[in-house]
Structure 1
Amino acid sequence: MHPIPRLRPMREHDIPAVLAVQSACYTELVPESADAFLTKLAASPGTCWVALGVRDRLLGYLVALPWRFDAPPALDLRDCRLPAEPDCLYLHDLAIAPHARGQGVADALVDAFVMCLRDLRLPRAALTAVQGSAAFWARHGFSPVDDGLLPAAKLASYGAGACYMTRPAKRPAARIAA
């Protein structure tokens, strides 16, 4: 049995460890830069978390932004300006260190995200599933958005096979064993 990871808000000094986890996880996309993470963290520090294990070793992270559903942010965004009237909490990035997978880290971070979504009283969450992760997100209550609602060009920076997904805020987080 693995201990439950400790979650806390992401801080600027976490970025090198976040970049290392990102590099280990994303093999089909060009990794985002430190500047991109810093601008997102500065824009919305209350919606970015890290999961820590023994001796505060970074196990994973989640970056989310209050955003507009019809215009997901591009990858490696260097100037993150939150919209005046967000209508979703956009889950921009979740990554779990390879050594920490299967220990409940992703579930803990997604649960924190869902609680934040409800606290912000936004009607829905959105994300762009990459690297074949749509089935994972479906287990957490997300479903693909009809292609007609979001032009493919808006997802171009996320690579081939990107899938835009959403879930209502009120839906309980559903986890179905794979």
Structure 2
Amino acid sequence: MPAHFFHIRRASLHDLAAIERIQHECYGADFHEGQDAFANKIRQAPDYCLVAECAQGTVLGYFMCLLASVERFPCLHADDFQCPGDPDILYLHDMALSASARGRGLRQAFLAAIYRTARQNQALKDVFLVAVQGAEVVWEREGFQPVNARAVGLSASLETYGSSAVLMKKPLQPAVAR
């Protein structure tokens, strides 16, 4: 499935059923967020919530990101999160790909799209995520490093993701001049 077989666009509330379907395919029950939580993310950060769909219109994956700060950092299952007025963190909350889309470059395409958008916001300095289900190995390949949640004041938020969750961070690199 080369890139021209899917396109990435902003997620909309009309995508909630497809997002929920893919989430159930990818995550254990403890990580299933309700449609209200996804709707909240889409409303709070519409430019940072994406879906990929194939030419036939089927949603193949989603990528939910939020603008955050250490003082206002999202918890799992939150349906009332409000992005801070002065965010300095791009938070990669959730990326999930249907089985048919895995291994076809969609993760890299999502990351490239979200970084392009984030680099337009000069206030964003770091990218954080919480790796679950052993995904920290994948994120380390993308340049993320584990962070001590207690040291950065995010222990309470991290605990909502379960005892094996790993907080990870990397700097948001400026765009490369061409």
Q: State the secondary structure of the residue aligned to 2:94.
A: strand
The residue that corresponds to 1:12 in the other structure is 13
Q: State the secondary structure of the residue aligned to 1:56.
A: coil
1:55-101 alpha-carbon deviations (Å, 9 max, x no partner): 01111110111101355311111112111211111111100111211
The residue that corresponds to 1:75 in the other structure is 76
Answer yes or no: is the 8 Å Cα contact 2:23–2:96 preserved in 1: yes
Identity of aligned residues (%): 34
CA distance in 1, matches of 2:138, 2:31: 21
Answer yes or no: is the 8 Å Cα contact 1:28–1:131 preserved in 2: no
TM-score, normalised by the number of residues in structure 1: 0.89
The residue that corresponds to 2:2 in the other structure is 3
The residue that corresponds to 2:35 in the other structure is 34
Q: Which runs of 5+ in 1 are unaligned?
A: 174-178
The residue that corresponds to 2:131 in the other structure is 129
Q: Which runs of 5+ in 2 are unaligned?
A: none
The residue that corresponds to 2:147 in the other structure is 145
TM-score, normalised by the number of residues in structure 2: 0.89
CA RMSD of aligned residues (A): 1.8
Matched residues, number: 172
Offset, 1:26: 0.5
Offset, 1:165: 0.7
Offset, 1:110: 1.2
